Structure 1
Amino acid sequence: METNAAEHLTDPEDQAELLADAFATGDPRYVAHALGIVARAHGMTKLEQATGMKRQALYRALSMDGNPKLDTLMKVMKALHLSLRAEPREAA
């Protein structure tokens, strides 16, 4: 039986750490997937109400195969009380 990560990821610090890790990889699939895990941990019904988006659209966008638009990303981050921050990094 596969464990649902969202059920165990209830601490906001752990959620932020997961998302920071996902953003650090630069992998859009991982970012969408991680955001979906955090969204499910908060409750998709609450997220649907906070974003004004349909649950089905949220599930689709926030899956490993999803590709959320920037608008969707910003709405979801705001609804989850999370922010994005840009930091300089060393050139390769």
Structure 2
Amino acid sequence: METQPWDASKYLNTQEDKIAYLNACMETGDAQLIQSAIGDIAKAQGMSTIAQQAGVGRESLYKSLSKNGNPSFQTMLKVIQALGGTLTVAPLPA
């Protein structure tokens, strides 16, 4: 049986899909998973467009959002804004 790698970006068609996907990843608290999810969303929207809006190079953005990337917090904020989002902090449930 032949398998293919899963590419979540192919299934993130609406803004609601993207938000639900990112929120589900955020609930894990896994920074690498969250970073990967942001990369999937950027890929779904068009990596070149997001890179331009965030003011970073496309290749640099691919590298930053890869599994082994290590983007700065500033880069992540710019990408989140380019994706049409904002970062919000809420208290943990008791």
**Alpha carbons 1:36, 1:59 under 8 Å: kept:** yes
Bigger RCO (CA 8 Å, 6+ sep) = 1
Runs of at least 4 residues off by over 2 Å: 1-4
Q: TM-score, normalised by structure 2?
A: 0.87
Note the 1:1-92 alignment, pairs <5 A: 1-91=4-94
Q: Matches of 1:58 and 1:29 in 2, distance apart?
A: 15
**Alpha carbons 1:36, 1:63 under 8 Å: kept:** yes
Q: Matches of 2:62 and 2:76 in 1, distance apart?
A: 13
Q: Name the SS of the counterpart of 1:25 in structure 2.
A: coil
**Alpha carbons 1:29, 1:63 under 8 Å: kept:** no
Q: Residue 3 of structure 1: CA displacement?
A: 4.2
**Equivalent residue letter for 1:79:** A
Q: Matches of 1:48 and 1:87 in 2, distance apart?
A: 28
What is the CA deviation profile of residues 34-87 of structure 1, one whole-angstrom value per residue up to 9, with x for unaligned ones? 000000000011012101101111111112222221101110011010112111
**Alpha carbons 2:52, 2:58 under 8 Å: kept:** no
Which runs of 5 or more residues in structure 1 are unaligned?
none
Q: TM-score, normalised by structure 1?
A: 0.88
Q: Residue 24 of structure 1: CA displacement?
A: 1.7
- Residues matched between the structures, number: 91
Q: Please report the RMSD computed on the Cα atoms of aligned residues, expressed in angstroms.
A: 1.4
Q: Residue 4 of structure 1: CA displacement?
A: 2.6
Which runs of 5 or more residues in structure 2 are unaligned?
none
